[in-house]
Structure 1
Amino acid sequence: MDLLALADFNLVARHGGFGRAARAAGRPKATLSRRVSELEAALDLRLFERGGRTLTLTEEGRALHARTGVLLAELDETAAAIASGSATPRGRLRISAPLLFSQVAMGKLAAAFAMTHPEVRLEVTTEDRAVDMVEEGYDLAIRVDPEADASLVGRIVLRDHLVVVASPNLARPTGDRPVPAVVRGSGGGDAWSMRTPGGPSPLAFEPVLRLSSLIMVRDAIRAGIGAGRLPISLVSRDLAAGTLVRWGDIDGPDIALWALYPSRRLLSARVAAFLDHLKRAFPHGTPEELAAYVGPESEV
């Protein structure tokens, strides 16, 4: 594939037309049109739908632009950095992060990063779904216990574990009576597996509230309507203050928060800078570090 023709195609796709692309790049419009036509012929694909006054990407054109536009930009950035002898992070950095981490920490993290790296245009999108990083143009994704994916590499940023907590005013039921519980979402079963010296022990519960956010779950537990299962980092200050009490630990592996990026992509200076930023914020990756980083804001 002709990389120069591919670069011209992305230039036209980015500006939405041959004329606008030609003016932006100072190139002849006829040259850009010819190079895109040659690329279409080489690929045996139509990349643009050409109307009287409109130019729109075809489905194949959108896919090609999504997969190659960022790669070409990173190649340009790498070449410029080598030529100038500088690896200063610059350019657009798109990050997808989960809801809870975004609510309690991402605003502070993003602001500190932006002040340290003013030439990076940071964009953070909050969503819990597993985004397609290449297709959707993300440079970095932060995910909780992600499924194995051969196309992605990454590192663990934080570890956390789940505990069952309740208001000190809520009496723990005796015998086999289920605990009134506040749970997240529609699933969750009917018993928590608790860690005890003798091994796992079930704690039966009956949902009295189902909420979509762990922040809401914590606030409802504080109000005393039921017990709940939450990350220790989210409730450590409540436990220290006595506004919540700890009924026990959930049996099972720790929660791991990963930072992921596409393995087929060069690790750009801006992605490496943000990974270093996370490492400085959470050098050991413990729940206590996250709770300390969040500070009093976790009380809201």
Structure 2
Amino acid sequence: MDRFDTITAFIAVVDHKGFAPAARSLGVSASLVTRLVAALEERLGVRLLQRTTRSVGLTDAGARFLERARRIVADLEEAERVAENEQSAPRGRLSLSAPLMFGRMHIGPLIGRYMNAHPRLSVELSLSDRFVDLVEEGFDLALRIGHLSDSALVARKMGATRRVVVGSPAYLETRHKPTTPADLERHRLISCTSLTPAGRWRFWSGGERFDVDAAPAYVTNSAEAAIWHAENNGGLTIAAGYQIIELVRAGRLAVVLADYEPAPLPIHFVYPSARLLSAKVRSLIDLAARECDWTFVDF
């Protein structure tokens, strides 16, 4: 077994306080981590970890080895970064996940420009509104919209987007324009289940969230279908700012209940912390930072 892999597995077990969490952080199976640590102990001829049914701790020899092991890994990672930075053209395969509509509108065009600039690179772009586990599913990078909860990921903020209620001007002319969420009971509602539960619409006031019972006339899991229906005088729907900003600017949709919106949601690129930030990932993020305006707040 590779010496570096065995040392990396040992450090991960110590840092994550167990074989299973270490395996998740590394994107491998727990059995492989167990074998790697066992191989390291066998090669050194000393037990590094004290295992019980409830916990994993360092032996005295393990504590002494850990300090040196961290330096070894840090030195090797730095050497790899230096060598990688000397590689002028990103190459290989980049796997990326993004929300469906954001990916179609913004990530797809970005990838096109990126691949034109780096013809030796291949890309797999997966678009889905479901939550994607980067480690389990083997993605290098993901675009996330909303507040992050996974502390195991490294994030770089790329922008922000509002979450708004919109309807067509023609529809709003025929109905009493809502001034509070309670007014929605007099409106035709269009629910996109990828943004909000069909029977409950969420609003904020004074920093506190509250829910309003909703009886939608139209329910869909497609943001594009919900927005199209609203644009064509079908009623009110909740949408992300990036989805409707151009329609609002063109006068085809109008925002209502702006005083009850949440704070703008951050937009991040995220990648697994256990992996080095490769040239292909770093160069894509840098390209997006230079060329893309992903702040969908002022409209």
Taking structure 1 as the reference length, the TM-score comes to 0.63
Paired positions, count: 225
The sequence identity of aligned pairs, in percent, is 29
Q: Does 1:269 align with 2:279?
A: yes
Matching of residues 179-190 of structure 1 within 5 Å: 179-185=187-193, 187-190=197-200
The answer on whether the counterparts of 1:146 and 1:258 sit within 8 Å (CA) in structure 2 is no
**Superposition deviation, residue 187 in structure 1:** 1.4
Q: 1:248 to 1:281 in 2, by over 3 A?
A: farther
Residue in structure 2 matched with residue 234 of structure 1 by the alignment? 243
The unaligned stretches of length 5 or more in structure 1 are 7-37, 44-74, 292-300
Q: 1:164 to 1:239 in 2, by over 3 A?
A: same
**Superposition deviation, residue 157 in structure 1:** 1.4
**Superposition deviation, residue 220 in structure 1:** 0.5
Counterpart-to-counterpart distance in 2, 1:84 and 1:214: 40
What secondary structure sits across from 1:142 in the alignment? strand
What secondary structure sits across from 1:169 in the alignment? helix
Aligned AA (2:120): E
Residue in structure 2 matched with residue 59 of structure 1 by the alignment? none
Aligned with 1:222 (options 227, 231, 235): 231
- Greater shift, 182-191 or 161-170, is seen at 182-191
Counterpart-to-counterpart distance in 2, 1:240 and 1:133: 35
Q: 1:160 to 1:118 in 2, by over 3 A?
A: same
What secondary structure sits across from 1:123 in the alignment? strand
The answer on whether the counterparts of 1:178 and 1:206 sit within 8 Å (CA) in structure 2 is no
Describe the superposition over 1:82-134 as per-residue Cα deviations: whole angstroms up to 9, x where unpaired: 29943431111110111111121222111001001112111111122332222
Residue in structure 2 matched with residue 15 of structure 1 by the alignment? none
Q: 1:233 to 1:163 in 2, by over 3 A?
A: same
Counterpart-to-counterpart distance in 2, 1:3 and 1:202: 55
Residue in structure 2 matched with residue 70 of structure 1 by the alignment? none
**Superposition deviation, residue 42 in structure 1:** 4.5
**Superposition deviation, residue 248 in structure 1:** 3.0
Q: 1:113 to 1:83 in 2, by over 3 A?
A: closer
Residue in structure 2 matched with residue 104 of structure 1 by the alignment? 105
Aligned with 2:289 (options 275, 279, 289): 279
Q: Does 1:255 align with 2:265?
A: yes
Q: Does 1:243 align with 2:252?
A: yes
**Superposition deviation, residue 264 in structure 1:** 1.3
Aligned AA (1:225): G
Aligned AA (1:117): H
**Superposition deviation, residue 138 in structure 1:** 0.9
**Superposition deviation, residue 178 in structure 1:** 3.0
